[in-house]
Chain A
Amino acid sequence: MTIGFHQKDFLLAVEGLTVSFDGFKAVNDLSFYVDENEIRVIIGPNGAGKTTVLDLICGKTEATSGSIRFRGQELTRMTENQIVEAGVGRKFQTPSIYDDLTVFENLEISYPRGRSVVGALAFRRDAAVRERVEAIAEMIFLKDRLDINADLLSHGQKQWLEIGMLLIQEPALLMLDEPVAGMSVSERIKTAELLKRIIKNHTVLVIEHDMKFVEDIAHKVTVLHQGQILSEGKMEKVKADPKVIEVYLGH
């Protein structure tokens, strides 16, 4: 395959991605590439299409045109659960967890086994599951909360739980939509710590507004504006870009 050869090093290759809602192009001819083990942060003003990009990658929104290749697989033609199985995990902006289930059960559902109907009926909670859930729970500071219902958690703890639910899936690409939004200062610090630990052995695509946090973790930054890339590169370079200063960083 000569066409695809230059992509083969990339974990994720987005090319010519466009989506239009009744004529409004929320994402317009967007292309970017993410390396294995890279931490990529997407920033940009509200309405720039950041969340839509994540929606497109994980299959929540259907692309009008363009391609998203992940480890050589074309994601635009796959269903959401196939995309998850291919190794893409997605955290939503507002914590999306199951309030009526316990923390343990929340994590267990994300454990990558027994995902078919028959598999779910036959699923047993064995030692491997229990160990894994406990290990993740420790990581997300919820080890002593395993048995309580998730609706009793604080907002920050719910965010952690959802991150934990992603981790237990063991995705090759983690996508996080504003992971520290709405957190208290102390929760924010703990989350930053948690994320720094996670990103050591994952490829991560993050949307974030907290510039200090972005500077801390980002390998590369992509600035979106009106569905297109305004600037891309190392944080220092992006920060110095006059276009970026004008539409985003300036205020």
Chain B
Amino acid sequence: MTDNPRFLSRGELLAMAVLALLLVVILPLALDIFRLNLVAKYLTYAFVAIGLVLCWGNGGILSLGQGVFFGLGGYCMAMFLKLEASSVENTKIQSTPGIPDFMDWNQLTALPFFWQPFHSLVFTIVAILVVPALFAFIIGAAMFKRRVGGVYFAIITQAVAAILTILIIGQQGYTGGINGITDLRTLKGWDIRTDGAKFILYFVEVVLLFGCILAAQFIRRSKLGRILVAMREKEDRVRFSGYNVANFKIFAFCAAAVFAAVGGAMFTLEVGFMSPSFVGIVPSIEMVIYTAVGGRLSIFGAIYGTLLVNWAKTSFSETFPELWLFGLGALFIAVVLAFPNGLAGIWRDHVQARLGRLLSRLRAGSTKTGWAARPGAGSVADGAAAE
């Protein structure tokens, strides 16, 4: 294994193919458009989960404020869509036509300056990527350069999530307040509320998701990925091997923020609104649990974890709303106590190990080191995701 690590191991290639099969073929065929749209909504959190695998699983940096970046991406998108929905024609009954309805209700008479550039789709797309990255950079630089880490970082990111939520709710006239930005209709004239649009948006999202998987995979496979793992283990050793540890942490945090923002923007498109209830402390920590359930060290695990937990949430809270919080709480505890590597860990240690033994028995010694036959071999950065 002293060659350059392969971009995708055979196992990962297989995992990718299985995921693609599931998302591109099986689910669209098996589910009606309402359910498919639900899957699309769940998948927006998978973007956050991928970022958390990178930042928390690999780098050991636990952010309890990923909802902030999810929200920033989502709000950027929502601002654009809202402006398009608030054309002078659509809003002529307002006392000030041409501004979003909630501004009119809050006695605003002109569009605030920071809303102005969101008339442009290009600006909006750039903003979705740059605003969260910049924000993450500022937080990351301020904290990591001062060597704030571990639980302190977690708490402060949580405080940031709280601050942003309070701010959004408090500044109703500028943000839509607690209801968020609602009643979004069209994207460049294309109605996003129709079943057809939802179908297309689902596939757009799947393509973006695979883009993010590949980007995250590229980072994990590079030396930077190994440095992240090294930093998680022995931060001082990395520092005294000549690396500026803070810069690497900032990078991981920014990358996770951008992934989350893409998810947030897609959320707005899929669901048709954005509100502070996806920004604050509770949604942020839920995003962490999706990742933990799936396996904090495995990109694919985290995606399945996100889908499963959200699916469970929907079906439980439909049938036994009382049980859901118990279930979620118990899940947190069980994952942390018993399965710190989540579903991916269970898969690797139990299913794959058995599968591997079976395979090698079938092949009867023709190949000694099949990909599945060596759980735990290779490094974590290298082999943990090999399911």
In the complex, A touching B (Cβ < 8 A): yes
Q: Is A189 on the interface with B (CB-CB < 8 A)? A: no
Interface pair B224/A101, CB less than 8 Å apart: no
- Interface centre among A105, A124, A125, A134, by most B CB within 10 Å? A105
| Interface range on chain A (Cβ under 8 Å from partner) | 35 or more
Q: Which of B241-249, B288-296, B345-353 contacts A (4 or more CB under 8 A)?
A: B241-249
How many A-B residue pairs have C-beta atoms within 8 angstroms? Tell me. Answer: 110
Inter-subunit contact A105/B248 (CB<8 Å): no
Determine if A112 is an interface residue (Cβ-Cβ < 8 Å).
yes
A109-B1 CB under 8 A given contacts A84-B241, A92-B236, A96-B236:
no
Once the chains bind, are A97 and B242 in contact (CB under 8 Å)?
no
Are B2 and A146 in contact, with the CB atoms below 8 A?
A: yes
B361 contacts chain A at the CB level, 8 A cutoff: no
Asked if B239 and A121 sit within 8 Å, CB to CB, the answer is no
Q: Is the interface of B mostly helix, strand, loop or mixed?
A: helix
Q: Is the beta-carbon distance between B242 and A112 smaller than 8 angstroms?
A: yes
Q: Are A117 and B222 interface neighbours, CB within 8 A?
A: no
Given A105-B379, A120-B222, A125-B4, A81 and B239 touching (CB < 8 A)? Answer: yes
- Chain B contacts of A125 at CB under 8 A? 2-5
Q: Which of B79-87, B183-191, B226-234 contacts A (4 or more CB under 8 A)?
A: B226-234
Chain A hits for B1, CB < 8 A? 102, 104, 147
Contact with B along A32-44 (1 / 0, CB 8 A): 0000000000000
Q: Find out whether the CB atom of B251 lies under 8 angstroms from the CB atom of A100.
A: no
Residue interface bits A84-128, CB-to-B below 8 A is 1, else 0: 110001101000111111101110111010111100111111000
The 9 closest A-B pairs by CB, nearest first: A84-B242, A123-B223, A120-B224, A100-B380, A98-B230, A96-B237, A125-B4, A98-B233, A120-B223
Interface residues, chain B, CB within 8 Å of chain A?
A: 1-5, 218-219, 222-224, 226-227, 229-230, 232-234, 236-245, 247-248, 251, 376, 378-382
For the A-B complex with A81-B245, A105-B379, A169-B242 known, give 15 more contacts whose Cβ atoms are closer than 8 Å.
A81-B239, A85-B242, A96-B236, A100-B233, A101-B381, A102-B382, A104-B1, A109-B223, A110-B242, A115-B244, A116-B247, A120-B248, A125-B2, A147-B378, A149-B378
